Amino acid sequence: MLREDNGRKKMQGLWNLKDNKTFWEYAGIALGTLVYTISLNYFLLPTRLGEGGVVGLTTMFYYTLGIPLYLTNFILNGILIVVGYRFLGKKTVIRSLWAIVCLTVFLKFPVIAVYHTDQTVIPTMVSGVLTGISMGIILRCGGTIAGSTILAKIANRYLGVQTGSATLFFDLGVAAPMVFIIGFQNTLLTILQLYIAAVLTNQFLARVGAKKAIFIISDSHESIAASLSNELHQGITVFKGRGFYSGKEQTMLYLVCTSPQLTKVVPIVESVDAKALIVVEHVRSVRGLQMHQLL
């Protein structure tokens, strides 16, 4: 009986792991690195395009010396992880290590079929789209692929620069010198690919799983706050203010929610007060206590 109980507990532990947020974050990072590997092996390298960051350096070694990408990627990113540990914290570094391991493994997979075309702008755009999506997934799950993404996350955390834009800035510093290896035309295509990837990374982070900050001004603020609190199961901050033009005292409600929750907020507010003022803003990052504790 004791062995059966222990067996059940182990099975329950494995089952609970599937429902664990951390499990899905690690799975998401693995998926993101797989998509990024497809972008590299099937579109970027066959077109002889460059890249930014550490991956850009690995492509340099690959084009000039024939050194496999997985080898230089693992060594160079391992060095940058040490730098990232000081600035990004243990959680991000562990997830970044997981991303590097996944990327190293996926890069060793044999390439089954390569897309060939004389229209080099097509694989350029496809690579940019896949890279942007993959970076968005990895960053949304709390990881990085090291390289320029670590520097970008540091810039985002301490300077407030959008992660995709900061990544593009650091990537261009590596991509520009590649003109002497891949030629002027392919360097321009590389810059186009990096730009597409940066734009899509920003859009992905802004829309998928991103937080929204909501300001609500209404005379029925008590009823609105009660309805939202019961529906969203989180706290709401109340501010006292005064209209400059009217001189009237106003009460403002403030809360942070996800995009799916936002679809519930607006109808709830309008059902209580159709004339309520609702202001919604994108939130680049939320740190500190959990939202229901903080607000």
For the segment 10-51, what is each residue's pLDDT rounded down to a tens digit?
A: 444 444 444 577 888 899 999 999 999 999 889 988 888 888
**Three-class secondary structure of residue 282 per DSSP:** strand
pLDDT number for residue 36? 92
Contacts of 65 (CB under 8 A, 6+ apart): none
pLDDT number for residue 171? 78
CATH topology of domain 211-294: Alpha-Beta Plaits (3.30.70)
Q: Supply the mean pLDDT for the chain.
A: 79
What's this model's pTM, rounded to 2 decimal places? 0.68
The b-or-e profile of 29-47 (16+ CB within 10 A means b, else e) is bbbbbbbbbbbbbbbbbbb
Percent of the chain at pLDDT > 90 equals 11
User: How sure is the predictor about 9, in pLDDT bands with cuts at 50, 70 and 90?
Assistant: very low
Question: Domain segments of the chain: what residues?
Answer: 2-207, 211-294
Percent of the chain at pLDDT > 70 equals 84
The b-or-e profile of 258-271 (16+ CB within 10 A means b, else e) is eeebeeebeebbee
**Three-class secondary structure of residue 238 per DSSP:** strand
Q: How far is the C-alpha of 187 from the C-alpha of 176, rounded, in Å?
A: 7
Contacts of 88 (CB under 8 A, 6+ apart): 96, 144, 150, 153, 154, 157
For the segment 93-142, what is each residue's pLDDT rounded down to a tens digit?
A: 788 888 888 988 998 888 887 777 778 899 999 999 999 999 889 888 88
